[in-house]
Structure 1
């Protein structure tokens, strides 16, 4: 039995083992017991006593390391059900919870509630459809149209905002924008998401008005580069302790990049935009779309000035994530 640590609060559960990521295991000084593994690889650990909720939460959440530094000793144990374990960690990420589970070894890996096939079904983009569209006047363009997408295999609802007249004979200017509550809505200065959103819409409106072209802003429901809002805020707390955005995600046992570009490609295909001009500083977006069948005829730089609160964040994107920033 696998029980996510974050849902164990009401159950009062205890278990002799925990499933965590290898990145988190390394912070618990288990690296010398592990073979080289990807940061999100599953690791099964055992302590001297069964794990209670009081024990499990600070083991799972590195944001509590300063408050509860004394942990262990722990031992990494043999894990002979890698498939379900990996699927469990990935589904935890999708759910936006910590990738940590209490494990009852009596039936672990057997009658599991998750499997690799669950992930396969979730990642199939063919079920994504356009469900409705409507006129939506916005500040950048009072003739804009919004298009809503939904899949039978996924509860997330993505949208595209179309600026200008959608025409098959013109290559659209496209921006893939992952939702950012803190930046888009609350005006956070820790990132550049809000200004990038506004600037993209303004550029598309200018392109439509002056060049007769059109643009599409894809607003993707994948907060925090795919780790979810709460986990993003946990990463913010770690950044306040001195970790950069990449290290903060990895200390949580989560990837620093988990966005779903295949879904974006499917949205573009449904819009009839198989060749695009892409507004991005991230060449990995260009490559990901190309692998999914979308041709990028031009990468349009989309850099905005930094501020004292996001300068390190942007430098990390440049130096560690390969963004083309000056």
Structure 2
């Protein structure tokens, strides 16, 4: 929303705001409290040739005359090739980067670009009360951001499907107000033996629009068809668009791919990890439905390892090699070479 929050922890406090929605009047108001500092991920800092002294986070000094256009150009890589010289940027050293890390994680949780502006302040509780701002202690906020919210099976109903036949759709809702996730039961899968299962991350462009840039739509359809052929299965549709970075950032990554970067480098230039998804959600949903052993339809060994680590036994990895096109051949090659997918 472009409204700052007050972060406090380890004997320090700061006003923190995401760069993406920052407007000039807000920047001017923040400067009245002190000198702003920019927080970026190490991946974005690497693109800008800035040193991330806190490991995963870089703290950058904001020049006195810098405006919102400068800040957004630092945070958003869409103009990196057109305007390659944005610096030199000056890193900040000493002290703790805990507040900066928390601010970046909050921006990520909102599917904004992972970049934030911070201004150190005194008397944070009074400041938050006087200005009607949210006050967060980072020792409470950070564990909340990393925990898996309990998921409730709020409703289910019969759903006949063209590809899979008779089925049932379950809607799962987390207790923290986050995205809902869905489970599609095909047939009546038994709970006392391994179930054919697929963890499918939402892909609006591939699943709905039939994009040729990825193999998501064909994988979704092939998984449902195979479950229909076998008479039973469960497909989890997880709302983790763009490998967990959201649709807007996924489109930013697509724009970078049009400039010649592969899918991994595009994510890194945006400041994200290769893959920001949380597959613990899939394990939680499968357990909630009563399954303990699965035959997992996937080409991604990371999904197998995550389910195993969450106490679900993967008795078989079932390959799902469909959807290769001229347009996505390079994308699939990158998934194999850099993300370990078994294609």
Q: Which residue of 2 aligns with 1:67?
A: 82
Q: Give the 3-state SS of the residue equivalent to 2:114 in structure 1.
A: coil
Choose 62-71 or 142-151, whichever is displaced more: 62-71
The separation in 1 between residues aligned to 2:83 and 2:149, in whole angstroms, is 46
> Is 1:4 aligned to residue 21 of structure 2?
no
Q: Which residue of 2 aligns with 1:45?
A: 60
Q: 2:325 aligns with which of 301, 307, 312?
A: 307
Uncovered stretches (5+) of structure 1, i.e. residues with no partner: 209-213
> Is 1:179 aligned to residue 202 of structure 2?
yes
Contact 2:164 2:229 survives alignment (8 Å): no
Contact 1:85 1:109 survives alignment (8 Å): no
> Is 1:20 aligned to residue 40 of structure 2?
yes
> Is 1:206 aligned to residue 229 of structure 2?
yes
The separation in 2 between residues aligned to 1:71 and 1:290, in whole angstroms, is 45
- Shift, 1:134, TM fit: 0.5
Q: Give the 3-state SS of the residue equivalent to 1:205 in structure 2.
A: helix
- Structure 1 residues 226, 73: CA separation in 2 closer, same or farther (over 3 Å shift)? same
The separation in 2 between residues aligned to 1:291 and 1:97, in whole angstroms, is 30
Q: Give the 3-state SS of the residue equivalent to 2:194 in structure 1.
A: coil
Choose 277-286 or 302-311, whichever is displaced more: 302-311
CA deviation string 1:119-158 (max 9, x = no partner): 4224433621211110111112342100111111242100
- Shift, 1:260, TM fit: 1.0
Q: 1:102 aligns with which of 117, 129, 132?
A: 117
Contact 2:53 2:59 survives alignment (8 Å): no
The separation in 1 between residues aligned to 2:265 and 2:136, in whole angstroms, is 30
The separation in 1 between residues aligned to 2:148 and 2:85, in whole angstroms, is 44
Contact 1:47 1:72 survives alignment (8 Å): no
Uncovered stretches (5+) of structure 2, i.e. residues with no partner: 1-14, 129-134
The TM-score with structure 1 as length reference comes to 0.90
CA deviation string 1:259-289 (max 9, x = no partner): 1111111000001111100000111110011
Q: 2:236 aligns with which of 218, 233, 236?
A: 218
- Shift, 1:46, TM fit: 1.1
Contact 2:100 2:118 survives alignment (8 Å): no
Choose 234-243 or 108-117, whichever is displaced more: 108-117
The separation in 1 between residues aligned to 2:124 and 2:341, in whole angstroms, is 40
Q: Which residue of 2 aligns with 1:211?
A: none
Instruction: Describe how 1:103-122 pairs up with structure 2 within 5 A.
Output: 103-106=118-121, 113=136, 115-122=138-145
Q: Which residue of 2 aligns with 1:127?
A: 150
- Structure 1 residues 190, 78: CA separation in 2 closer, same or farther (over 3 Å shift)? same
The separation in 1 between residues aligned to 2:139 and 2:243, in whole angstroms, is 22
The TM-score with structure 2 as length reference comes to 0.86
The separation in 2 between residues aligned to 1:247 and 1:278, in whole angstroms, is 28
Contact 1:51 1:102 survives alignment (8 Å): no
- Shift, 1:66, TM fit: 2.5
Q: Which residue of 1 aligns with 2:3?
A: none
- Shift, 1:221, TM fit: 0.7
Choose 139-148 or 109-118, whichever is displaced more: 109-118
The separation in 2 between residues aligned to 1:135 and 1:292, in whole angstroms, is 29
> What's the C-alpha RMSD, in Å, of the aligned pairs?
2.1
